[in-house]
Amino acid sequence: MDERIDISPERLIDAADAIFEAAMEMDHPIGPRTPSEILGAPDQPRALCDFSRFEIVEAERFLVRCGALPAAFATPGPPPS
């Protein structure tokens, strides 16, 4: 049985916005680490603090599908729990 976890459209957009806010907070464009790799790191931007890893990974995938992030940022595999 497929046990999908859904994220509301509003929360997805908020997480996507947080990814770009985090890039501005770090004063550089996104890269080389993905936002989901920065979560929990000592240099994690404040903009990501209110989101779970699941939400940030889903936002990364959404932004890749929209063409706003390079495909290299797509986290492979099933969503993290």
30, 16, 9: which is closest to 61 by C-alpha? 16
What's the CA gap between 28 and 7, in Å, rounded? 28
Predicted TM-score (pTM) of this structure: 0.81
Q: How many domains does the chain have?
A: 1
Question: In the predicted model, is pLDDT for residue 15 greater than 50?
Answer: yes
> Is residue 81 situated within a structural domain?
no
76, 77, 75, 62: which is closest to 36 by C-alpha? 75
The mean per-residue pLDDT over the stretch 46-55 comes to: 94
pLDDT score for 23? 84
pLDDT band at 2 (very low <50, low <70, confident <90, very high): very low
What domain range includes position 51?
9-73
> Is residue 17 situated within a structural domain?
yes
